[in-house]
Amino acid sequence: MQHQEHYQRLERLYQQAKVQELFSGSSIQVSHSRAEITLPVQDKYFHGANALHGAVYFKLLDDAAYFAVASVVRDVFIVTASFQLNLVRPVAGGELKAVGTLRSQSKNLFIAEATLYNERGKEVAFGTGQFVRTTQPLESLQGYV
């Protein structure tokens, strides 16, 4: 399988995940060691003070870092083992873009970072995650094939 086909399958896996039903309008682009995810901000993502809930920051950063790692793992599903999240500024509208990049890899441990930007290109959050391989083949995932 060519690299581009793997990236397209990962994008489809992202879009077909049940959790995406909660994040309408989100898009993803996967390339070698990198992933970009966009999401239009909707007020359904807000906490009581009418700004973006931290869970949404985490979802976007974790997914961007995750798919940056997944771009180089072509045989098995990976999972997030830990994620350090830093919230920089509140978000109350516009479109968000998360950019994830692979920073380090060994046989079973991958480290990736992601930065979340608002529609003006200002950083609103960043994080670093550790990801590990599972034994579940990618080919066994309905959204991947």
Q: What is the three-class DSSP state of 10?
A: helix
Tell me what the mean pLDDT of segment 73-79 comes to.
97
Using a pLDDT cut of 70, give the percent of the chain over it.
Answer: 100
Q: Are strands 34-40 and 27-31 parallel, antiparallel or unpaired?
A: antiparallel
77-136 pLDDT per residue, tens: 999 999 999 999 999 999 999 999 999 999 999 999 999 999 999 999 999 999 999 999
Question: Residue 24's pLDDT is what?
Answer: 87
Q: Cβ(14)–Cβ(28) under 8 Å?
A: yes
The ranges assigned to domains in the chain are: 3-140
Tell me what the mean pLDDT of segment 44-54 comes to.
96
What predicted TM-score, i.e. pTM, was given to this entire model? 0.96
Question: Residue 145's pLDDT is what?
Answer: 87
Instruction: Give the rounded distance of the alpha carbon of 54 from its chain centre.
Output: 15
CATH class, domain 3-140, is alpha beta
